[in-house]
Amino acid sequence: MRRRNLLGLSALAAAAVPLAGCQKYRSNDTVPPVVSHSPVPSTGEPAATSVTEGGGAVPFENGKVMLGAYVDLKGRSVSSGIDLRRRQLGRPERIVHRYFSWTDKLPVSLGYVSNKSTLMISWRGPEYKDVNDGSSDKLIARAARRMADRKKPTLMRWAWDMNRDFYKWGGPANNRDTHGYIQAFRRIHRIFEEEGADNVSWVWSPNWNSRPSEDWNAYKNYYPGDEYVDWAGVSGFAQTQSPAEMFDEFYETYASRKPIMISEVSVIDRGGSTKPEWIASLHEWIKAHPAVGAAVWFDTDTHPTSRENWRIDSTAASLAAYKAMSNDPVFIG
């Protein structure tokens, strides 16, 4: 079982729109007062009032950010890649992100997820009808029981980037039926509750950039409701956009209601100091937005359709910028 490919990266330089997350993939493995982050000058609008609690089984911590990654490095096993990052950063990943297909057996345990790390599963969806007609109920229940058997807090990111046009679970592939996505998300959530998987924390995670960019496909139209979402996540791969351009609107929409996760993020290296400077700007943006409780880097150089090196150590300067973020006391070690 293998993980996914990125969206049309080979044509990225000619693209008229920013990189918008990942397309195909292969699965990897069979109320206190708000405590603000350390002050950092903000280049955007004032941050929205942040939540003071939330996150469900994986709780939001005021003034702290869980910094994690999807790690898949050329020439290394998953375990070896994660161990390299532990040695480089001087700490384990706080979130270990992995991808699984709809019919995969979700993991009860993974040896490379340390006791100091939380697993985040990105679980691929089918077409909405295959959930909403009840035909997948047994599959969902089996998955829920396996998650319950983990007995560890686990982040579940089901059917991400649903506001893009390259997934079978996206609105564009389901007759623009955004309500069908909501129904499916709620049904899966209910079955997990019925099976006792109360250790699962639900991450709803659209892309910052809807495609097609039409009113019906806006990410707000896919929101399952506060009762069903523990973390409001947003993914984005920057070409020339700043973190503020990508994430401000999402933050202002949800930060007063839910903890925010930057659930999948990286940047195109345009040469010179562009990549380390962008990492530094993400560091600054997160610290200026106190409802952000997690950020997950897309740390890989193995995509079969991409020449882009998304690794944090693609250059010494990029690694230094990432380590500066990791070593900041705001980012939980």
Quote the pTM value. 0.88
CATH of 4-29+37-327, one of 3.90.550.10, 3.30.390.10, 3.20.20.80, 3.30.450.20: 3.20.20.80
CA distance 17 to 137: 38
Give the pLDDT confidence score for residue 36 in this predicted structure.
37
| pLDDT by 10s per residue, the chain, length 333 | 334 433 333 333 333 333 434 444 444 443 233 333 443 444 445 455 667 789 999 999 999 999 999 999 999 999 999 999 999 999 999 999 999 999 999 999 999 999 999 999 999 999 999 999 999 999 999 999 999 999 999 999 999 999 999 999 999 999 999 999 999 999 999 999 999 999 999 999 999 999 999 999 999 999 999 999 999 999 999 999 999 999 999 999 999 999 999 999 999 999 999 999 999 999 999 999 999 999 999 999 997 767 789 999 999 999 999 999 999 999 986
CA distance 189 to 207: 21
Q: Are 209 and 17 in contact (CB under 8 A)?
A: yes
CA distance 205 to 244: 18
Give the pLDDT confidence score for residue 332 in this predicted structure.
81
Domain residue ranges of the chain, discontinuous segments joined by +: 4-29+37-327
Give the pLDDT confidence score for residue 228 in this predicted structure.
98
First-residue to last-residue Cα distance in the chain: 31
CA distance 132 to 187: 7
Q: Are 42 and 281 in contact (CB under 8 A)?
A: no
Give the pLDDT confidence score for residue 52 in this predicted structure.
77
Give the pLDDT confidence score for residue 30 in this predicted structure.
39
Give the pLDDT confidence score for residue 156 in this predicted structure.
98
Give the pLDDT confidence score for residue 273 in this predicted structure.
96
Give the pLDDT confidence score for residue 6 in this predicted structure.
38
CA 102 vs. chain centroid, Å, equals: 17
DSSP state of 92: -
